[in-house]
Amino acid sequence: MSRKYFGTDGVRGRVGQAPITPDFVMRMGNAAGRVLVAQARRDKPKVLIGKDTRVSGYLLQASLEAGFSAAGVDVMLAGPMPTSAIAYLTRTLSLDAGVVISASHNPFYDNGIKFFSASGTKLPDDVELGIEALIDAPMQCRSSESLGKASRLSDAAGRYIEFCKGTVPYGMSFSGLKVVVDCANGAAYHIAGSVFSELGANVITVANQPDGFNINSGVGATHPEYVRASVLEHKADIGFALDGDADRLIVVDSTGRIFNGDELLYILAMERLQRGSLSGVVGTLMSNVGLELALKARDVAFDRAKVGDRYVHEMLIERGWSLGGEGSGHLLFLDRHTTGDGILSALQILIAMLRSEKNPAELTHDLQMYPQILKNVKVTSGYVWTADERLLAAKKAVDAKLVGKGRTLIRPSGTEPLLRIMVEAHTQELAVACVEELMAAVGVVG
């Protein structure tokens, strides 16, 4: 069955426009609550709700809380917390589900809802479909004695900080390292700096003054030039840029060089290969072909999943592997956590640096990345690129030019009204020319 509301990462959109409206979110909470009640392991299910720093989080949290309560579900409120923290806390507190109110790397005027299962993973398809089946049905409200209650989880940040620190080998210290952490004015603003400083690093924390509107605004993983400038200004050893919900990571070294998710994935793969703990790596259709070739040159199995960390996770489970990720900076290591985590990713990079006594440039010196150009083209509702004859003809022509020299990938965004066009080629000039040719052909609604 196809999903009506859920995308690759929950439900997301512009606040005030369907589906991100108070009434829809309340009905979604009620539908999710009714599914949980039907599957309850206890007298009354318990759900943890976290959010990022968007001003709309207050509104949507109240709507979710009302929907869950009406369904007879108790709610615990964690306040602003990274997405991965909610996954961890849901699991470690033995709750029935976790919910995050966030639109990740999007601007402040967007927001979204994503769910975690009791085990801290994305919801199984059948559960999502069960929720969707009830969203459009009339809301149900249980009798007064069966309504859910709400409480605050006051020590959520402290619990998560200790979890992050616990992933670092005993006795390892970051003392002597100067680290810049860009929190994107998002959910990790009060957490990320503490993790690194409590492990001994000299930390400069930036973009950690959220006001409800400045999340991801010129900062964070989608704007690495900001952390780059801070690294150079403070003469830091390394810089880490998170996104709004802190589940992705971009790294900048002491010279200002920016390392994306594919390069970070290679660093982690080589560190694990050296320790004999690597079975294979999962990337996505967007992963750079240079990463694939470098891994295969070292006899490391590499498979591509569909774009989206949920699909990387699913393939890792299928293969029985633990390491995977996306070029955007979503990295998964299932032997450490059930979902992508920007702070844990940064810690893993530091561990690889300290163990090898090498910087990121040295750790990737034998990785030859192909120039990759990715462009987002706004499209109208209902646009189907596979029905666009002009674009299909342009893609056929471009593919012919790239035989033996690169590849193309066109896909609709799973969260926004965008068409993503990617071209990889052995030269920057060829990649740019090809992607411009494809962009110029977009425009016919299927």
Q: What is the mean pLDDT of the chain?
A: 95
Residue 316 covered by a domain: yes
**Is residue 445 pLDDT above 60, yes or no?**
no
Other beta carbons within 10 Å of 434: 26
Strand partners, 351: none
* pLDDT, tens digit, 9 for 90 and up, residues 176-189: 999 999 999 999 99
- Structure confidence at residue 2 (pLDDT): 67
Q: What is the mean pLDDT of residues 319-325?
A: 98
Q: Tokens 């960390």 map to which residue?
A: 309
**Is residue 321 pLDDT above 50, yes or no?**
yes
Name the residue type at position 389: E
Instruction: Mark which of 138, 154, 170 sits at the end of a domain.
Output: 154
Residues 350 and 396 placed together within one structural domain of the fold: no
Using the CB atoms, write b or e for 69-80: b if 16+ within 10 Å. bbbbbbbbbbbb
Residues 332 and 403 placed together within one structural domain of the fold: no
- Structure confidence at residue 364 (pLDDT): 98
* pLDDT, tens digit, 9 for 90 and up, residues 25-71: 999 999 999 999 998 888 899 999 999 999 999 999 999 999 999 99
Percent of the chain with pLDDT over 90: 88
Residues 148 and 266 placed together within one structural domain of the fold: no
- Structure confidence at residue 225 (pLDDT): 98
Instruction: Mark which of 308, 338, 363 sits at the end of a domain.
Output: 363
Instruction: Mark which of 330, 363, 396 sits at the end of a domain.
Output: 363
H or E segment and range at residue 310: helix 309-319
Active site residues: 104
- Structure confidence at residue 1 (pLDDT): 54
Note the pTM of the prediction, 2 decimals. 0.91
CATH number at residue 435: 3.30.310.50
DSSP 78-111: EEE--HHHHHHHHHHTT-SEEEEE--TTS-TTEE
Residue 330 covered by a domain: yes
* pLDDT, tens digit, 9 for 90 and up, residues 257-274: 999 999 999 999 999 999
**Is residue 446 pLDDT above 50, yes or no?**
no
The total of structural domains in the chain comes to: 4
**Is residue 165 pLDDT above 60, yes or no?**
yes
Residues 344 and 377 placed together within one structural domain of the fold: no
Q: What is the mean pLDDT of residues 4-20?
A: 90
Residues 163 and 298 placed together within one structural domain of the fold: no
Residues 131 and 29 placed together within one structural domain of the fold: yes
Residue 4 covered by a domain: no
Look up the domain containing 405 and give its range.
Answer: 372-441
H or E segment and range at residue 270: helix 261-274
Residues 22 and 144 placed together within one structural domain of the fold: yes
Contacts for 106 with CB less than 8 Å, ≥ 6 apart: 12, 112, 216, 244, 415, 416
Q: What is the mean pLDDT of residues 323-333?
A: 97
Residue 3 covered by a domain: no
Using the CB atoms, write b or e for 127-151: b if 16+ within 10 Å. bbbbbbebbeeebeebeeeebbebe
